[in-house]
Amino acid sequence: MAALRAGKTNNEADQPSSPVLRFGLDKPLKLDAGTLLSPFQIAYQTYGTLNDARSNAILVCHALTGDQHVGSTNPVTGKPGWWEVLIGPGKIIDTSRFFVICSNVIGGCLGSTGPASTNPATGKPYGLDLPIITIRDMVRAQQMLIDHFGIEKLFCVLGGSMGGMQVLEWASSYPERVFSALPIATGARHSSQNIAFHEVGRQAVMADPDWHGGKYFEHGKRPEKGLAVARMAAHITYLSEAALHRKFGRNLQDREALTFGFDADFQIESYLRHQGMTFVDRFDANSYLYMTRSMDYFDLAADHGGRLADAFAGTKTRFCLVSFTSDWLFPTEESRSIVHALNAAGASVSFVEIETDRGHDAFLLDEPELFAAINGFIGSAARARGLTS
């Protein structure tokens, strides 16, 4: 929290507290926008040890507002890593067995080049001068990181939501480098409804006078109100009606009766306000614009002449897809259409739909059935890859 608040700049953006790989002018990142990003950097975390054969590497791709701190304390929030329930020594993704890599995506704000990073041409943060970043750009950068480790083929690439999109892009763009792929609660394209929600969030950020056309750092400000509203709206889409009702119902917040005013009378209002407030402490507003845009632009079938199966033609990768019954952001049908495309491509694919009322966010939570599926899939893939336990 201190990192973002102090001096209203984002120190993690340029000098992350995790390892960082810097690419000079000789190694630019080719962007879908048609330009080159150079120089640029990737901030990452690793857990466990890469074996001699370099065959035990698992790449974890983070979601919209995630970061590289998947299995260790987040330096900004001081909270546990976002997937520590799953990843660590002796856990389902056992870091005493696998070498786990997670990098901050390009366009992010925790150390990989993004709008909050200093633009070497101006000495000021990029802001909106950064070209639009796509999911494929993120994956292209990750591939350069994997090259740096000398890893030819990743044992597994996994992630949920926007992370799942990266998994699909990996499997499609670099099939020979992905032994197994585990996309969770995701889709092969962002739906119209999802783009709509993202647009609401972006407009909220841009409507905040403190946004200053994206140059807020130069004005010593941050569009906290707009970003908080964006997060509040988005957060609703990560939950389900049933879970909200179960958790909050129409319960009142620290009061006996309605106040006949616009205070947070209801617990759900107070909860959302809290979600909004804590989010702005850890996330950069412009980065939020770029991240949401990258998801909006994602359409894997469109990249392959409109036929999703062609995105996976001839693939040898083993797939396992997971969806959740109450996820209305990426409903089961999105996963099922990927499964059908993989079937048509003759791919090896498992598909699990998990019954839960916890909505889209279920993938981040302690869901025993999710863990059982991941465990079974990783275990059988490891046997096929010849990895001993």
Interface with other proteins (CB under 8 A): 318, 320, 339-340, 343-346, 348-355, 369, 372-373, 375-377, 379-380, 383
Query: Smallest gap, in angstroms, from Cβ of residue 130 to other proteins?
Result: 40
Q: Which is nearer to other proteins, 167 or 349 (CB)?
A: 349
Work out how close the CB of 378 gets to other proteins at its nearest, in angstroms, rounded to a whole number. 9
If we measure between CA atoms, which residue out of 219, 225, 3 comes closest to residue 111? 3
Pick the catalytic residue from 55, 103, 112, 161.
161
- What gap in Å lies between CA 92 and CA 236, rounded to an integer? 29
Residue 17 a catalytic site member: no
360 is catalytic: yes
Q: Please say which residue, 69 or 318, places its beta carbon nearer to other proteins.
A: 318
Q: How far is the CB of 304 from other proteins (least distance, A)?
A: 16
CB of 184 to other proteins, least distance (A): 13
* Minimum CB–partner distance for residue 340 and other proteins (Å): 4
* Shortest Å, Cβ 174 to other proteins: 21
Known catalytic residue at 161: yes
Q: Quick one: 91 or 340, whose CB is closer to other proteins?
A: 340
Report the residue number, 267 or 375, with the smaller CB distance to other proteins: 375
* Closer to other proteins by Cβ: residue 171 or 352: 352
Closest CA to 249 of 269, 230, 233: 269
Cis peptide before 39 (omega within 30 of 0): yes
Consult the annotation and say whether 231 binds a ligand: yes
Closest Cα to residue 157, out of 178, 131, 127?
A: 178
Burial class (CB within 10 angstroms; exposed 0-12, middle 13-18, buried 19+) of 302 = middle
Q: Nearer to other proteins by C-beta: 79 or 383?
A: 383
Q: How far apart are alpha carbons 107 and 294 in whole angstroms?
A: 9
Q: Which amino acid appears at position 50 of this protein?
A: L
CA atoms within 13 A on the CB side of 10: 32
Residues forming the annotated binding site for substrate?
231, 361
Annotated binding site: 231, 361
Q: What are the residue numbers of the active site?
A: 161, 327, 360
